[in-house]
Amino acid sequence: MKSTIVSAVLASLLLVQQSVAHPGQSAAEAQAEIRERAEYMSKAAPHKRSLAHCAAKLKARNLDAARRAAKVEALREKRAITQNKPFLRARDFEDVLNTDHHSNLTVTPESDPSELFTGNASCILTPETTEGPYWVQGELIRQDIVDGEAGVPMTLDVQVVDVNTCEPVPQVFTEIWHCNSTGVYGGVVANGNGNTDDEANLDNTMLRGVQLTDKDGVVSFDTLFPGHYTGRATHIHVMTHVGAQQLPNNTVAGGNITHVGQIFFDQDLITLAEQQEPYLTNTQTLTTNADDFIMAEEAENVDPVVDYVLLGDDISQGIFAWIAFGMDATANQSVTPAVYYTENGGVKNPNGVSGPPGGAAPSGFMPSGAMPSGTAIPSAALESS
Ligand SMILES: *[C@@H]1O[C@H](CO)[C@@H](O)[C@H](O)[C@H]1NC(C)=O
Ligand SMILES: *[C@@H]1O[C@H](CO)[C@@H](O)[C@H](O)[C@H]1NC(C)=O
Ligand SMILES: *[C@@H]1O[C@H](CO)[C@@H](O)[C@H](O)[C@H]1NC(C)=O
Ligand SMILES: *[C@@H]1O[C@H](CO)[C@@H](O)[C@H](O)[C@H]1NC(C)=O
Ligand SMILES: *[C@@H]1O[C@H](CO)[C@@H](O)[C@H](O)[C@H]1NC(C)=O
Ligand SMILES: *[C@@H]1O[C@H](CO)[C@@H](O)[C@H](O)[C@H]1NC(C)=O
Protein backbone atom coordinates (compact mmCIF):
# COMPACT_ATOMS: atom_id res chain seq x y z
CA MET A 1 0.00 0.00 0.00
CA LYS A 2 1.42 3.35 -0.90
CA SER A 3 1.65 5.83 1.90
CA THR A 4 -0.33 8.98 1.37
CA ILE A 5 2.70 10.98 2.45
CA VAL A 6 4.71 9.69 -0.46
CA SER A 7 1.77 10.19 -2.77
CA ALA A 8 1.60 13.78 -1.64
CA VAL A 9 5.32 14.22 -2.16
CA LEU A 10 5.04 12.75 -5.61
CA ALA A 11 2.10 14.95 -6.39
CA SER A 12 3.99 18.07 -5.41
CA LEU A 13 7.05 16.93 -7.35
CA LEU A 14 4.86 16.41 -10.38
CA LEU A 15 3.58 19.94 -10.15
CA VAL A 16 7.05 21.44 -10.18
CA GLN A 17 8.55 18.88 -12.48
CA GLN A 18 6.59 18.84 -15.69
CA SER A 19 9.81 18.55 -17.63
CA VAL A 20 11.24 15.43 -19.16
CA ALA A 21 12.10 12.45 -16.97
CA HIS A 22 14.32 10.79 -19.49
CA PRO A 23 15.71 12.64 -22.45
CA GLY A 24 12.92 12.96 -24.95
CA GLN A 25 10.33 11.78 -22.49
CA SER A 26 7.20 13.88 -22.21
CA ALA A 27 5.49 14.83 -18.98
CA ALA A 28 2.75 12.37 -19.88
CA GLU A 29 5.26 9.56 -20.30
CA ALA A 30 6.95 10.51 -17.05
CA GLN A 31 3.60 10.38 -15.29
CA ALA A 32 2.91 7.02 -16.87
CA GLU A 33 6.24 5.82 -15.54
CA ILE A 34 5.35 6.92 -12.02
CA ARG A 35 1.92 5.36 -12.25
CA GLU A 36 3.38 2.13 -13.56
CA ARG A 37 5.63 1.90 -10.53
CA ALA A 38 2.83 2.77 -8.13
CA GLU A 39 0.65 0.12 -9.72
CA TYR A 40 3.36 -2.51 -9.37
CA MET A 41 4.09 -1.58 -5.79
CA SER A 42 0.45 -1.58 -4.75
CA LYS A 43 0.09 -5.15 -5.95
CA ALA A 44 3.42 -6.56 -4.85
CA ALA A 45 3.51 -8.77 -1.78
CA PRO A 46 5.43 -7.11 1.07
CA HIS A 47 8.37 -9.47 0.69
CA LYS A 48 8.68 -8.44 -2.94
CA ARG A 49 8.79 -4.76 -2.09
CA SER A 50 11.91 -4.88 0.01
CA LEU A 51 14.45 -7.32 1.32
CA ALA A 52 13.98 -6.36 4.96
CA HIS A 53 12.92 -9.95 5.65
CA CYS A 54 16.30 -11.11 4.34
CA ALA A 55 18.38 -8.90 6.63
CA ALA A 56 19.47 -11.61 9.04
CA LYS A 57 20.42 -13.99 6.28
CA LEU A 58 22.32 -11.36 4.32
CA LYS A 59 24.11 -10.09 7.39
CA ALA A 60 25.27 -13.57 8.28
CA ARG A 61 27.04 -13.76 4.95
CA ASN A 62 30.25 -11.92 5.80
CA LEU A 63 31.92 -13.41 2.80
CA ASP A 64 30.65 -10.48 0.78
CA ALA A 65 32.52 -8.01 2.93
CA ALA A 66 35.79 -9.87 2.48
CA ARG A 67 35.21 -10.12 -1.25
CA ARG A 68 34.61 -6.39 -1.57
CA ALA A 69 37.65 -5.52 0.53
CA ALA A 70 39.80 -7.71 -1.70
CA LYS A 71 38.28 -6.04 -4.74
CA VAL A 72 39.24 -2.58 -3.56
CA GLU A 73 42.80 -3.70 -2.97
CA ALA A 74 42.98 -5.26 -6.42
CA LEU A 75 41.61 -2.10 -8.04
CA ARG A 76 44.12 0.06 -6.22
CA GLU A 77 46.90 -2.22 -7.39
CA LYS A 78 45.65 -2.08 -10.96
CA ARG A 79 45.55 1.72 -10.87
CA ALA A 80 48.86 1.96 -8.98
CA ILE A 81 47.26 3.60 -5.99
CA THR A 82 49.16 3.03 -2.74
CA GLN A 83 47.59 0.21 -0.80
CA ASN A 84 47.90 1.73 2.62
CA LYS A 85 45.99 4.88 1.77
CA PRO A 86 42.97 5.20 3.99
CA PHE A 87 39.58 4.68 2.52
CA LEU A 88 38.57 8.27 2.30
CA ARG A 89 34.97 7.92 3.03
CA ALA A 90 32.22 5.48 3.50
CA ARG A 91 28.65 6.46 3.38
CA ASP A 92 25.87 5.49 5.62
CA PHE A 93 22.41 6.96 5.76
CA GLU A 94 19.05 6.44 7.28
CA ASP A 95 16.85 8.44 5.04
CA VAL A 96 17.67 8.31 1.37
CA LEU A 97 15.71 11.45 0.65
CA ASN A 98 17.84 13.30 3.14
CA THR A 99 20.71 14.62 1.05
CA ASP A 100 23.03 15.00 4.02
CA HIS A 101 23.65 11.43 5.06
CA HIS A 102 27.36 10.93 4.79
CA SER A 103 28.96 8.99 7.56
CA ASN A 104 31.49 10.97 9.54
CA LEU A 105 33.25 7.71 10.24
CA THR A 106 36.99 8.24 10.41
CA VAL A 107 38.74 5.48 8.56
CA THR A 108 42.46 4.88 8.87
CA PRO A 109 44.84 2.39 7.25
CA GLU A 110 44.49 0.36 10.42
CA SER A 111 40.74 0.01 10.04
CA ASP A 112 39.53 -3.42 9.11
CA PRO A 113 38.31 -2.89 5.55
CA SER A 114 35.64 -5.49 6.03
CA GLU A 115 33.97 -3.19 8.54
CA LEU A 116 33.37 -0.76 5.74
CA PHE A 117 31.59 -3.35 3.73
CA THR A 118 29.39 -4.87 6.35
CA GLY A 119 26.03 -3.93 5.01
CA ASN A 120 22.76 -3.77 6.84
CA ALA A 121 20.70 -5.17 4.01
CA SER A 122 19.71 -1.59 3.40
CA CYS A 123 20.95 -1.18 -0.12
CA ILE A 124 18.28 -3.21 -1.77
CA LEU A 125 16.28 -2.24 -4.79
CA THR A 126 12.65 -3.02 -5.10
CA PRO A 127 11.64 -5.07 -8.08
CA GLU A 128 9.79 -2.70 -10.30
CA THR A 129 9.10 -1.98 -13.90
CA THR A 130 10.73 1.26 -14.91
CA GLU A 131 13.07 0.54 -17.75
CA GLY A 132 12.74 4.08 -19.02
CA PRO A 133 12.53 4.70 -22.71
CA TYR A 134 16.18 4.03 -23.48
CA TRP A 135 16.70 0.29 -23.14
CA VAL A 136 18.66 -1.19 -26.06
CA GLN A 137 18.08 -4.90 -26.56
CA GLY A 138 21.03 -7.04 -27.62
CA GLU A 139 23.94 -5.31 -25.94
CA LEU A 140 27.29 -7.04 -25.61
CA ILE A 141 28.40 -9.31 -22.78
CA ARG A 142 31.44 -7.54 -21.35
CA GLN A 143 32.92 -6.24 -18.13
CA ASP A 144 34.44 -3.01 -19.44
CA ILE A 145 31.74 -0.80 -20.92
CA VAL A 146 33.70 2.46 -21.15
CA ASP A 147 34.42 2.35 -24.92
CA GLY A 148 36.99 5.12 -24.62
CA GLU A 149 34.62 7.65 -23.07
CA ALA A 150 36.12 10.24 -20.73
CA GLY A 151 35.11 10.53 -17.09
CA VAL A 152 35.72 9.34 -13.56
CA PRO A 153 36.49 5.59 -13.57
CA MET A 154 34.04 3.56 -11.54
CA THR A 155 33.94 -0.13 -10.79
CA LEU A 156 30.39 -1.12 -9.90
CA ASP A 157 29.61 -4.38 -8.13
CA VAL A 158 26.00 -5.42 -8.30
CA GLN A 159 24.71 -8.36 -6.30
CA VAL A 160 21.44 -10.00 -7.25
CA VAL A 161 19.41 -11.52 -4.40
CA ASP A 162 16.23 -13.54 -4.82
CA VAL A 163 13.40 -11.92 -2.84
CA ASN A 164 11.77 -15.31 -2.35
CA THR A 165 14.78 -17.18 -0.96
CA CYS A 166 17.03 -14.34 0.28
CA GLU A 167 19.89 -16.10 -1.51
CA PRO A 168 22.21 -14.56 -4.10
CA VAL A 169 21.35 -15.66 -7.62
CA PRO A 170 24.22 -17.05 -9.70
CA GLN A 171 24.04 -17.42 -13.46
CA VAL A 172 21.66 -14.56 -14.16
CA PHE A 173 22.47 -12.14 -16.96
CA THR A 174 22.55 -8.68 -15.43
CA GLU A 175 22.55 -5.62 -17.62
CA ILE A 176 23.31 -1.98 -16.87
CA TRP A 177 23.12 1.20 -18.93
CA HIS A 178 23.65 4.86 -18.21
CA CYS A 179 24.49 8.20 -19.81
CA ASN A 180 27.99 9.61 -20.29
CA SER A 181 29.67 12.46 -18.43
CA THR A 182 27.71 15.06 -20.38
CA GLY A 183 24.38 13.33 -19.95
CA VAL A 184 23.93 11.56 -23.29
CA TYR A 185 23.01 7.89 -23.73
CA GLY A 186 24.78 5.94 -26.41
CA GLY A 187 22.66 3.75 -28.67
CA VAL A 188 19.67 6.06 -28.92
CA VAL A 189 18.95 9.02 -31.18
CA ALA A 190 16.02 10.99 -29.78
CA ASN A 191 14.93 14.48 -28.91
CA GLY A 192 16.55 15.52 -25.67
CA ASN A 193 19.38 12.99 -25.95
CA GLY A 194 22.32 14.93 -27.30
CA ASN A 195 22.55 15.84 -30.96
CA THR A 196 19.56 14.39 -32.85
CA ASP A 197 21.49 14.76 -36.12
CA ASP A 198 24.18 12.41 -34.84
CA GLU A 199 22.82 9.17 -36.34
CA ALA A 200 26.13 7.47 -35.49
CA ASN A 201 25.02 7.48 -31.86
CA LEU A 202 22.58 4.69 -32.77
CA ASP A 203 25.58 2.34 -33.17
CA ASN A 204 27.27 3.58 -29.99
CA THR A 205 27.54 0.87 -27.31
CA MET A 206 29.14 3.13 -24.70
CA LEU A 207 28.21 2.56 -21.07
CA ARG A 208 26.00 -0.44 -21.80
CA GLY A 209 26.72 -4.07 -21.13
CA VAL A 210 25.60 -7.43 -19.80
CA GLN A 211 27.31 -10.00 -17.59
CA LEU A 212 26.48 -13.31 -15.94
CA THR A 213 26.43 -13.25 -12.13
CA ASP A 214 29.09 -15.37 -10.45
CA LYS A 215 28.62 -17.91 -7.66
CA ASP A 216 28.01 -15.05 -5.21
CA GLY A 217 25.34 -13.55 -7.46
CA VAL A 218 27.66 -10.67 -8.35
CA VAL A 219 28.58 -8.88 -11.56
CA SER A 220 31.31 -6.28 -11.66
CA PHE A 221 31.36 -3.61 -14.35
CA ASP A 222 34.21 -1.27 -15.19
CA THR A 223 32.49 1.93 -16.18
CA LEU A 224 32.45 5.68 -15.52
CA PHE A 225 30.53 7.70 -13.02
CA PRO A 226 27.39 8.78 -14.91
CA GLY A 227 26.73 12.41 -15.75
CA HIS A 228 23.36 14.07 -15.45
CA TYR A 229 20.66 15.19 -17.80
CA THR A 230 17.75 17.56 -17.45
CA GLY A 231 14.89 16.25 -15.38
CA ARG A 232 16.44 13.30 -13.57
CA ALA A 233 18.90 12.71 -10.76
CA THR A 234 22.09 10.86 -11.67
CA HIS A 235 21.27 7.16 -12.02
CA ILE A 236 22.11 3.83 -13.63
CA HIS A 237 19.57 1.40 -15.05
CA VAL A 238 19.70 -2.27 -14.08
CA MET A 239 17.89 -5.24 -15.60
CA THR A 240 18.11 -8.99 -14.98
CA HIS A 241 17.45 -11.81 -17.44
CA VAL A 242 16.77 -15.27 -15.99
CA GLY A 243 17.14 -18.26 -18.27
CA ALA A 244 18.53 -16.19 -21.14
CA GLN A 245 20.96 -17.82 -23.56
CA GLN A 246 24.36 -16.60 -24.56
CA LEU A 247 24.56 -16.38 -28.35
CA PRO A 248 27.78 -17.05 -30.31
CA ASN A 249 28.16 -13.32 -31.00
CA ASN A 250 28.40 -12.53 -27.28
CA THR A 251 24.90 -11.20 -26.79
CA VAL A 252 21.97 -12.71 -24.90
CA ALA A 253 18.51 -13.74 -26.06
CA GLY A 254 15.37 -15.24 -24.58
CA GLY A 255 14.62 -15.88 -20.93
CA ASN A 256 12.51 -13.81 -18.59
CA ILE A 257 13.14 -10.25 -17.48
CA THR A 258 12.89 -10.57 -13.72
CA HIS A 259 13.91 -7.12 -12.58
CA VAL A 260 14.11 -3.62 -13.97
CA GLY A 261 15.35 -0.85 -11.74
CA GLN A 262 17.50 2.20 -11.19
CA ILE A 263 20.31 2.82 -8.74
CA PHE A 264 21.38 6.19 -7.38
CA PHE A 265 24.34 8.01 -5.82
CA ASP A 266 24.94 10.09 -2.77
CA GLN A 267 24.52 13.76 -3.57
CA ASP A 268 27.99 14.56 -2.18
CA LEU A 269 29.55 12.06 -4.54
CA ILE A 270 27.67 13.57 -7.47
CA THR A 271 28.95 17.00 -6.47
CA LEU A 272 32.53 15.74 -6.39
CA ALA A 273 32.24 14.13 -9.83
CA GLU A 274 30.55 17.16 -11.33
CA GLN A 275 33.61 19.25 -10.40
CA GLN A 276 35.77 17.12 -12.71
CA GLU A 277 36.28 17.39 -16.46
CA PRO A 278 34.42 16.66 -18.65
CA TYR A 279 31.40 16.70 -16.30
CA LEU A 280 32.02 20.44 -15.89
CA THR A 281 31.22 21.01 -19.55
CA ASN A 282 27.71 19.57 -19.18
CA THR A 283 25.21 22.36 -19.78
CA GLN A 284 22.12 20.34 -18.85
CA THR A 285 20.20 21.13 -15.69
CA LEU A 286 21.19 19.15 -12.62
CA THR A 287 18.31 17.55 -10.76
CA THR A 288 19.22 16.62 -7.20
CA ASN A 289 18.20 13.39 -5.50
CA ALA A 290 15.75 15.29 -3.33
CA ASP A 291 13.91 16.46 -6.45
CA ASP A 292 13.82 13.14 -8.28
CA PHE A 293 10.40 11.51 -8.26
CA ILE A 294 11.60 8.05 -9.32
CA MET A 295 14.11 8.00 -6.50
CA ALA A 296 11.49 9.25 -4.07
CA GLU A 297 9.31 6.32 -4.89
CA GLU A 298 12.08 3.74 -4.74
CA ALA A 299 13.21 5.16 -1.44
CA GLU A 300 9.77 4.60 0.01
CA ASN A 301 10.65 0.99 0.75
CA VAL A 302 14.34 0.57 0.12
CA ASP A 303 17.65 2.33 -0.10
CA PRO A 304 18.51 2.52 -3.80
CA VAL A 305 21.83 4.36 -3.28
CA VAL A 306 25.16 2.66 -3.81
CA ASP A 307 27.76 2.38 -1.07
CA TYR A 308 31.18 3.53 -2.18
CA VAL A 309 34.76 4.33 -1.40
CA LEU A 310 37.14 6.53 -3.32
CA LEU A 311 40.15 4.55 -4.44
CA GLY A 312 42.68 7.34 -4.11
CA ASP A 313 43.23 10.76 -2.64
CA ASP A 314 40.56 12.35 -4.74
CA ILE A 315 37.74 11.23 -6.96
CA SER A 316 39.78 11.39 -10.17
CA GLN A 317 41.54 8.14 -9.23
CA GLY A 318 38.29 6.29 -9.28
CA ILE A 319 35.36 4.99 -7.31
CA PHE A 320 34.45 1.51 -6.14
CA ALA A 321 30.70 1.30 -5.63
CA TRP A 322 28.45 -1.60 -4.69
CA ILE A 323 24.81 -2.40 -4.18
CA ALA A 324 22.63 -5.46 -3.72
CA PHE A 325 19.10 -5.61 -4.98
CA GLY A 326 16.20 -7.97 -4.86
CA MET A 327 14.88 -9.77 -7.89
CA ASP A 328 11.74 -11.89 -8.12
CA ALA A 329 12.93 -14.97 -9.98
CA THR A 330 9.35 -15.94 -10.79
CA ALA A 331 8.58 -12.65 -12.52
CA ASN A 332 8.58 -11.92 -16.22
CA GLN A 333 8.37 -8.22 -16.90
CA SER A 334 7.23 -6.87 -20.22
CA VAL A 335 9.60 -4.20 -21.49
CA THR A 336 9.94 -2.44 -24.80
CA PRO A 337 13.37 -1.70 -26.23
CA ALA A 338 13.94 1.70 -27.82
CA VAL A 339 16.52 0.16 -30.14
CA TYR A 340 17.77 -3.29 -31.14
CA TYR A 341 21.52 -3.65 -31.31
CA THR A 342 22.28 -5.95 -34.25
CA GLU A 343 25.17 -7.08 -36.43
CA ASN A 344 24.37 -4.02 -38.53
CA GLY A 345 24.42 -1.67 -35.56
CA GLY A 346 21.48 -0.05 -33.82
CA VAL A 347 18.02 -0.37 -35.36
CA LYS A 348 15.23 1.77 -33.97
CA ASN A 349 12.18 -0.07 -32.66
CA PRO A 350 9.27 1.53 -34.51
CA ASN A 351 7.09 0.71 -31.49
CA GLY A 352 9.63 1.93 -29.00
CA VAL A 353 9.45 5.08 -26.96
CA SER A 354 12.64 6.70 -28.16
CA GLY A 355 10.85 9.23 -30.29
CA PRO A 356 10.04 12.81 -29.53
CA PRO A 357 7.84 13.67 -26.56
CA GLY A 358 4.35 12.27 -26.86
CA GLY A 359 0.91 13.72 -26.42
CA ALA A 360 -0.99 15.22 -23.54
CA ALA A 361 -1.25 13.70 -20.09
CA PRO A 362 -3.69 10.79 -20.15
CA SER A 363 -7.14 11.92 -19.06
CA GLY A 364 -8.20 10.57 -15.70
CA PHE A 365 -4.69 10.65 -14.30
CA MET A 366 -4.90 11.84 -10.72
CA PRO A 367 -1.50 12.90 -9.47
CA SER A 368 -2.63 13.00 -5.83
CA GLY A 369 -4.05 10.36 -3.53
CA ALA A 370 -3.87 6.62 -3.81
CA MET A 371 -3.46 5.00 -7.19
CA PRO A 372 -6.64 3.17 -8.12
CA SER A 373 -5.88 -0.47 -8.65
CA GLY A 374 -6.36 -1.66 -12.17
CA THR A 375 -5.49 1.72 -13.64
CA ALA A 376 -4.73 1.32 -17.29
CA ILE A 377 -1.21 2.14 -18.35
CA PRO A 378 -0.54 3.91 -21.64
CA SER A 379 0.70 1.32 -24.05
CA ALA A 380 3.53 3.43 -25.41
CA ALA A 381 5.28 3.38 -22.07
CA LEU A 382 4.94 -0.24 -21.23
CA GLU A 383 3.70 -2.96 -23.43
CA SER A 384 5.58 -5.09 -25.84
CA SER A 385 4.38 -4.79 -29.33
C1 LIG B 1 29.40 12.27 13.93
O2 LIG B 1 28.18 12.95 13.78
C3 LIG B 1 27.33 12.83 14.93
C4 LIG B 1 26.00 13.46 14.58
O5 LIG B 1 26.17 14.60 13.77
C6 LIG B 1 28.01 13.46 16.14
O7 LIG B 1 27.18 13.31 17.26
C8 LIG B 1 29.34 12.78 16.36
O9 LIG B 1 30.02 13.41 17.39
C10 LIG B 1 30.19 12.80 15.12
N11 LIG B 1 31.37 11.98 15.29
C12 LIG B 1 32.58 12.40 15.02
C13 LIG B 1 33.68 11.43 15.22
O14 LIG B 1 32.81 13.52 14.60
C1 LIG C 1 20.07 -1.91 10.52
O2 LIG C 1 18.99 -1.12 10.04
C3 LIG C 1 17.89 -1.13 10.89
C4 LIG C 1 16.76 -0.40 10.18
O5 LIG C 1 17.19 0.83 9.68
C6 LIG C 1 18.28 -0.50 12.22
O7 LIG C 1 17.19 -0.52 13.10
C8 LIG C 1 19.43 -1.28 12.83
O9 LIG C 1 19.87 -0.65 14.01
C10 LIG C 1 20.56 -1.41 11.86
N11 LIG C 1 21.58 -2.31 12.42
C12 LIG C 1 22.86 -2.03 12.37
C13 LIG C 1 23.76 -3.06 12.96
O14 LIG C 1 23.30 -1.02 11.87
C1 LIG D 1 28.73 12.00 -24.72
O2 LIG D 1 28.18 11.30 -25.82
C3 LIG D 1 27.75 12.11 -26.91
C4 LIG D 1 27.15 11.16 -27.94
O5 LIG D 1 28.12 10.27 -28.40
C6 LIG D 1 28.94 12.88 -27.45
O7 LIG D 1 28.49 13.76 -28.45
C8 LIG D 1 29.61 13.68 -26.33
O9 LIG D 1 30.77 14.29 -26.83
C10 LIG D 1 29.98 12.73 -25.21
N11 LIG D 1 30.58 13.49 -24.11
C12 LIG D 1 31.90 13.48 -23.91
C13 LIG D 1 32.39 14.31 -22.77
O14 LIG D 1 32.68 12.83 -24.60
C1 LIG E 1 9.55 -17.53 -17.25
O2 LIG E 1 8.32 -17.15 -16.68
C3 LIG E 1 7.29 -18.07 -16.87
C4 LIG E 1 6.05 -17.47 -16.28
O5 LIG E 1 5.82 -16.20 -16.81
C6 LIG E 1 7.66 -19.38 -16.25
O7 LIG E 1 6.67 -20.33 -16.55
C8 LIG E 1 9.00 -19.87 -16.80
O9 LIG E 1 9.42 -21.03 -16.13
C10 LIG E 1 10.04 -18.80 -16.62
N11 LIG E 1 11.29 -19.21 -17.27
C12 LIG E 1 12.44 -19.25 -16.62
C13 LIG E 1 13.63 -19.63 -17.42
O14 LIG E 1 12.53 -18.99 -15.42
C1 LIG F 1 8.23 -13.28 -20.91
O2 LIG F 1 7.79 -12.01 -21.36
C3 LIG F 1 8.16 -11.73 -22.70
C4 LIG F 1 7.76 -10.31 -22.96
O5 LIG F 1 6.41 -10.11 -22.65
C6 LIG F 1 7.48 -12.72 -23.62
O7 LIG F 1 7.88 -12.46 -24.95
C8 LIG F 1 7.90 -14.12 -23.24
O9 LIG F 1 7.20 -15.03 -24.01
C10 LIG F 1 7.60 -14.36 -21.76
N11 LIG F 1 8.13 -15.66 -21.40
C12 LIG F 1 7.40 -16.59 -20.83
C13 LIG F 1 8.10 -17.87 -20.55
O14 LIG F 1 6.23 -16.44 -20.55
C1 LIG G 1 23.78 -11.58 -32.57
O2 LIG G 1 23.10 -12.69 -33.07
C3 LIG G 1 21.69 -12.56 -33.13
C4 LIG G 1 21.11 -13.89 -33.59
O5 LIG G 1 21.65 -14.22 -34.81
C6 LIG G 1 21.34 -11.41 -34.05
O7 LIG G 1 19.93 -11.23 -34.08
C8 LIG G 1 21.98 -10.14 -33.58
O9 LIG G 1 21.77 -9.10 -34.50
C10 LIG G 1 23.48 -10.32 -33.38
N11 LIG G 1 24.02 -9.14 -32.71
C12 LIG G 1 25.20 -8.60 -33.04
C13 LIG G 1 25.63 -7.39 -32.27
O14 LIG G 1 25.93 -9.08 -33.88
Rounded-to-integer distance, Cα 176 and Cα 56, Å: 28
Most confident of the following: 23-37, 273-287, 354-368: 273-287
Give the ligand 5 atom nearest the CA of 256: 1
What is the pLDDT of the chain when averaged over all its residues? 71
Q: What is the pLDDT of residue 365?
A: 26
Average pLDDT, stretch 43-62? 58
Q: What is the pLDDT of residue 165?
A: 82
Which stretch of 104-113, 129-138, 158-167, 252-261 has the lowest confidence by average pLDDT? 104-113
pLDDT at 369 over 50: no
Tell me, in angstroms, the distance from the centre of ligand 1 to residue 43's CA.
40
Ligand 4 within 6 A of 327 CB?
A: no
Give the ligand 5 atom nearest the CA of 384: 5
Q: What is the pLDDT of residue 126?
A: 47
pLDDT at 187 over 50: yes
Amino acid at 212: L
Q: What is the pLDDT of residue 154?
A: 94
Burial zone of 359 (CB within 10 Å; 0-12 exposed, 13-18 middle, 19+ buried): exposed
What are the helix (H) ranges across 207-283?
267-274
Q: From 247, 341, 349, give the residue whose CB has the most ligand 6 atoms within 8 Å, as the site to mutate.
A: 247
Ligand 4 within 6 A of 242 CB?
A: yes
- What is the residue with the minimal CA distance to atom 2 of ligand 6? 249
- Give the ligand whose atoms come closest to the C-alpha of residue 284: 3
The rounded percent of the chain whose pLDDT value lies above 70 is: 57
Torsion of the alpha carbons at 90, 94, 99 and 102, rounded to the nearest 10: -20
- What is the residue with the minimal CA distance to atom 8 of ligand 5? 256
Q: From 252, 260, 332, 349, give the residue whose CB has the most ligand 5 atoms within 8 Å, as the site to mutate.
A: 332
Q: What is the pLDDT of residue 86?
A: 38
Measured over the CA atoms of residue 169, residue 170, residue 172 and residue 173, the dihedral's sign is: positive
Average pLDDT, stretch 193-210? 96
Average pLDDT, stretch 332-361? 74
Q: What is the pLDDT of residue 142?
A: 98
Q: What is the pLDDT of residue 45?
A: 57
Ligand 1 within 6 A of 344 CB?
A: no
Tell me, in angstroms, the distance from the centre of ligand 2 to residue 120's CA.
6
Q: What is the pLDDT of residue 19?
A: 35
Rounded-to-integer distance, Cα 235 and Cα 269, Å: 12
Question: How does pLDDT run across 77-86, given as a tens digit for each residue?
Answer: 666 554 444 3
Amino acid at 236: I
Q: What is the pLDDT of residue 157?
A: 85
What's the Cα-to-Cα distance from 279 to each of 237, 265, 291, 360, rounded to whole Å? 19, 15, 20, 33
Q: CA neighbours within 13 Å on the CB side: how many for 33?
A: 28
Average pLDDT, stretch 91-106? 35
- What is the residue with the minimal CA distance to atom 1 of ligand 1? 104
Which stretch of 20-29, 135-144, 360-369 has the lowest confidence by average pLDDT? 360-369
pLDDT at 283 over 70: yes
Which stretch of 124-133, 225-234, 292-301 has the lowest confidence by average pLDDT? 124-133
Most confident of the following: 53-57, 319-323, 356-360: 319-323
Q: What is the pLDDT of residue 11?
A: 35
Amino acid at 122: S
Neighbours of 38 (CB within 10 A): 22
- What is the residue with the minimal CA distance to atom 7 of ligand 1? 104
pLDDT at 15 over 90: no
Q: Specify which residues 156 forms β-bridges with.
A: 221, 321
The rounded percent of the chain whose pLDDT value lies above 90 is: 35
Q: From 149, 177, 182, give the residue whose CB has the most ligand 3 atoms within 8 Å, as the site to mutate.
A: 182
Question: How does pLDDT run across 298-327, given as a tens digit for each residue?
Answer: 776 667 888 787 877 789 988 888 887 788
Average pLDDT, stretch 340-359? 74
Work out the pLDDT band at 104, boundaries 50, 70, 90. very low
pLDDT at 382 over 50: no
Q: What is the pLDDT of residue 101?
A: 30
Q: What is the pLDDT of residue 373?
A: 28
Work out the pLDDT band at 296, boundaries 50, 70, 90. confident
Give the ligand 1 atom nearest the CA of 105: 13
Work out the pLDDT band at 269, boundaries 50, 70, 90. very high
Tell me, in angstroms, the distance from the centre of ligand 5 to residue 332's CA.
6
Give the ligand 1 atom nearest the CA of 104: 1
Tell me, in angstroms, the distance from the centre of ligand 4 to residue 211's CA.
20
Confirm if 257 and 282 have CB atoms less than 8 A apart: no
